[in-house]
Amino acid sequence: EVQLVESGGGLVKPGGSLRLSCAASGFTFSTYSMNWVRQAPGKGLEWVSSINIGSTYIYYADSVKGRFTISRDNAKNSLYLQMNSLRAEDTAVYYCARGDGDYTPFDYWGQGILVTVSS
Amino acid sequence: DIVMTQSPDSLAVSLGERATINCKSSQSVLFSSNNKNYLAWYQQKPGQPPKLLIYWASTRQSGVPDRFSGSGSGTDFTLTINSLQAEDVAVYYCQQYSTTPRYTFGQGTKLEIK
């Protein structure tokens, strides 16, 4: 069974940093691209970042470029999102989601982890 | 970026009736090279993550009931739910994946029981 479990969320002050992790199991992690998608409270879905299987192609939404860094460790079956210079508007549930390569939808999602940026 | 616009924002349908949700993209998501529409539909129930229902505009994901169907091509798409069940109450999102990695989602349509 495919499982994606996010961790590392919480309350952080504006300007602070947080590192999210996503532990994957039930599939060969190293053969799938991975993504982060967020959802602000009561709002819709926003793609945040994507990384391919070899970490050679990495992309960010304009809203987080220069502040967030996506990475993965295929040996540990884990995906990460380092979030710096956090703003109130970054407050959201963050989901990790699996993609079957380029030009494919997200077929499995984690349960999500809440990040709250507030003083 | 491609803008995805869903209509309506919310709708209420009686149990056993049909629900129809529309999604319009600001540019075509049809690739002529393979004649595929790079359009997916997701269902998100309260307190849960999104679940992939349909991809390539009309292909049901494994395990999705056949009362869910997708149609359309180019810029105009429809998600149809026949014989609405109580468990279908959710927010539904369309997503284009034709401009990877700049995936974009519609704003969502909230489906309720009348």
Does A93 score more than 90 pLDDT?
A: yes
Percent of chain A exceeding pLDDT 90 equals 96
Helix (H, G, I), strand (E, B), or coil: what is residue B45?
A: coil
Give the CA dihedral A5, A25, A65, A54, nearest 10 degrees: 170
Does B104 contact A at CB distance below 8 Å? yes
Q: Which helix (H) or strand (E) holds B110?
A: strand B109-113
CA distance A62 to A79: 20
Determine which of A56, A106, A107 to mutate to test the interface with B (most B C-beta atoms within 10 Å). A106
Closest CA to A111 of B92, B48, B41: B48
Q: B98, A103: Cβ pair inside 8 Å?
A: yes
Assess contact for B55 and B61: CB atoms under 8 A.
Answer: yes
Instruction: Outline where DSSP puts E strands in chain A.
Output: 3-7, 10-12, 18-25, 33-39, 45-51, 58-60, 68-73, 78-83, 92-99, 106-109, 113-117
Q: What is the pLDDT along chain B (114 residues), one digit of tens a residue?
A: 899 999 999 999 999 999 999 999 999 999 999 999 999 999 999 999 999 999 999 999 999 999 999 999 999 999 999 999 999 999 999 999 998 777 899 999 999 999
Q: B108, A107: Cβ pair inside 8 Å?
A: no
